[in-house]
Each structure stands twice: as structure tokens, then as C-alpha cells.
Amino acid sequence: MAIEFTDKIRRLPTYPTAGGYALDGFAMLASNEAPFGPMPGVVEAAAGAVLSANRYPDPSNMSLRRALAARYDFAPGRIAIGSGSCDILLSGAEALLEPGAEFVYAWPSFSVYPHMAAATGANAIVVDLDENHRHDLDAMLAEVTAATRLLIVCNPNNPTGTSLPLAELEAFVAQVPRHVCVLIDEAYCEFSTLDDPDDSIALARRYSNVVLLRTFSKVYGLAGLRVGYALCGDERFRVAVEQVRQPFFCNSVAQAAAEAALLRQDELTRRIEETVANRLTLVEGLEELGLDVADSQANFIWHSLGDGDEDEILEGLRARKILIRSGRALGRAGWARTTVGTASENRRLLDALGELV
Ligand SMILES: *Cc1c(COP(=O)(O)O)cnc(C)c1O
């Protein structure tokens, strides 16, 4: 006899891990993390929070929400916090989706979205990206019905790095019926040169059904602490995702570190500029190798692997202590997603690919 699990456990896909964490001497270009350490002041703030680790964290996350409210000029009541923004995705799914409900998202896109449908039993309506690896908003709009509860646009899109200009997004949002929650996953918006990341916030001010999802994991370099946030068009979204979770979903160290990181917008800008410059160099290098490269507005690049065998190339990179993410696991065999690392990591990667493709 074995213990019996729910139906859901059979439905749920397993998150495709990069295979290897913090390996010694490896160039970690598989998970879109920042290559930089925490920003100035963050370690001290986190250490200060550890001193009171005998106390539960503030369950209302009020200090962090107020800091975000000040930074974005947005009502604190409409800012939701999560243990990483994935926590808000999963609790948003629990709050909005159920059997009979429909959920529209694009593919290839973020691997957590299929999980949201499987976890809730909702009907996933998956719309292919267009030939430029971008969301096909017209095709997505055509899938909206009275049963649609949630529609996600990942902008810039993971894994392709492509981004839609704000004007296109706004024209789309204006046409989506108000009963549908439009969640715009902006985990990488700070790296986009198409629009100022502060500008899309107007969508969450104007449309009550819009939720902008952002994170401290990527540009702020706090992936290991797990903290993300959502700017919500309607306070009820925040209340709903708080209802479905345990009370202390974001730990005190993460809250303190995120708040300290927010104070260093100067350093943030410097890091973004460095990453964007390194992205351009990496794109040029990949193109010189004859690979197809999608237009990236993120801190990673979606590119083909030429005529070589995907497994052999990834194995060859691993032997050279470089990890990138296989495209097969992300929805497109023969392609890969490579995170923009430091200038020297990127050089190592280009040299290795030069030998392998
Ligand atoms: C990395 C990422 C996130 C953020 O995940 P966290 O849980 O905040 O670490 C969200 N959406 C997308 C598309 C991502 O790539």
C-alpha cells in the first residue's frame, strides 16, 4: 500500500531546474539572476532584521508597501507583496481560477503559467507567439469568452526577451472585457529600452482589471531572498491573494532587504546600463556565430543553437563550466535562453559556443 495523492499531483508539471546551483567557478547563465551582489545597504538591513528573528514578520508588509507606494506614487492598499512574484502568480491562480474557468496565456512563455492551470483545474487556452517571438495580442483577444478569468501578458517575455511597446499593450487592455484580470508580468521591465518602466503603471491606475507583477529577484539582485510585488488596479486583488495564503508569506529579512534595495535607485540605474551594454555585446557575438537571435529587451537572450545537437552543445558548455537554459524544456527545441552575465562570463560563453556550434 502506498499513500494516495490528489488528482492535482498527477496534473502538475515539475519546474524545469537549471541543474546546478552556485557551482564553484561556473558561469551561471541559466536563471536570469543578476551577476551583481546585493546593493549597498542591503546586507546591513537584512542583518538588522535577523536580530529580531524570534518575532514573526509584519503580516501586512506595511513598511515595504509604503516604500513601494512612495517610489511609484501608488496607493499602498493596492500593492500586494509575495514571497517572490511567483507566490503572487500561484495565489492569484487560486483566487481567480477553478474548473470551468478559462485562463489565456502565450507560449513559449514563463513555465509557471502551465502550473497555474494544472493546480486549479482551469482550462488553459494557450496562444502561440508570432513569428517574431512576440505575444500575438489579437489572437489572445479572440480567445476571451464569458468564462475567461485571467489573461497573462509576460512583457518582456520569458524566455524570448521580446517586448511589446506600451501603446500596443494599452490598446489591447482597452479592448479586454473588465471581468477578465489582465496580469502583466513585468519581471524584466527595468531592462527594456522600449519604454520607461514607470510608464506602464498608468495602466494599473486607469484599468481596475490590470495587475502589474514585478520582482526583487532580477534587477534588484535578491533572488535568494524571495520577494516580489504587484501593483493592482483594484484593492480586491491584493485582499484575495492574501486570503488564500498563510499569514506570514514574506519573511522579515526579505522585507527589510527589499526596502533597503529600493533606496538605491542610482545604483540600480548603473546596473541596468551595464547589463544593457553587455546584452548588446552578447547579441553581436551570437549573431557573428551565425545564430538566430530574438530582439531582447530583458537581461537574457533567446537564440538558436545552429545545426548542432542541443544536448551536445549544452553538455559541452557544462564541461566548460557554463550553464545556459535548454530551449526544449522551455517550448522550442534547438533554441536556448542565455542570461546576460558579466563581461568576462559573456566572453567565455561566446568562445565556448564558437567551438561547439
Ligand atoms: C523570474 C520571473 C519571475 C519572478 O520570480 P520570483 O518568484 O519573483 O523570483 C516572474 N515572472 C517571470 C516571467 C520570471 O521570469
Q: Which domains does the chain have, with CATH numbers?
A: 23-32+266-356 (3.90.1150.10), 42-262 (3.40.640.10)
Burial 199-223 (b: 16+ CB within 10 A, else e): ebbebbeebebbbbbbbbbbbbbbb
* Res 13: pLDDT: 80
Cell of residue 315, nine digits: 553538455
* Res 192: pLDDT: 98
Q: How far is the CA of 114 from the centre of ligand 1 (A)?
A: 14
Q: How far is the CA of 98 from the centre of ligand 1 (A)?
A: 23
Ligand 1 pocket residue status of 183, Cβ below 6 Å: no
In terms of C-beta density within 10 A (0-12 exposed, 13-18 middle, 19 or more buried), how is residue 327 classed?
Answer: buried
**Which protein residue has the closest C-alpha to ligand 1 atom 11?**
187
Ligand 1 pocket residue status of 85, Cβ below 6 Å: yes
Q: How far is the CA of 207 from the centre of ligand 1 (A)?
A: 23
* Res 22: pLDDT: 63
Per-residue pLDDT tens over the stretch 17-73: 655 566 788 999 999 999 999 999 999 999 999 999 999 999 999 999 999 999 999
Ligand 1 pocket residue status of 159, Cβ below 6 Å: no
Distances in whole angstroms, Cα of residue 329 to Cα of each of 36, 107, 310, 324: 27, 12, 11, 12
Among the listed residues 136, 109, 56, 145, the one whose alpha carbon sits nearest the alpha carbon of residue 332: 109
> Which residues of the chain are modeled with pLDDT < 50?
none
Side chain identity at residue 343, one-letter code: A
Q: What are the DSSP calls for 142-176, one per residue?
A: HT--TTEEEEEEESSPTTT-----HHHHHHHHHHS
Q: How far is the CA of 6 from the centre of ligand 1 (A)?
A: 27
Residue to mutate, 31, 110, 113, 135, ligand 1, most ligand atoms under 8 Å from C-beta: 110
Q: How far is the CA of 290 from the centre of ligand 1 (A)?
A: 30
Average pLDDT, the chain: 96
For residues 19 and 312, what is the distance between their CA atoms, to the nearest angstrom? 15
Side chain identity at residue 162, one-letter code: T
Cell of residue 221, nine digits: 539582485
* Res 20: pLDDT: 58
| pTM score | 0.96
Ligand 1 pocket residue status of 84, Cβ below 6 Å: yes
Q: Angle, to 10 degrees, between the axis of helix 85-96 and the axis of helix 235-243?
A: 90
**Which protein residue has the closest C-alpha to ligand 1 atom 12?**
187
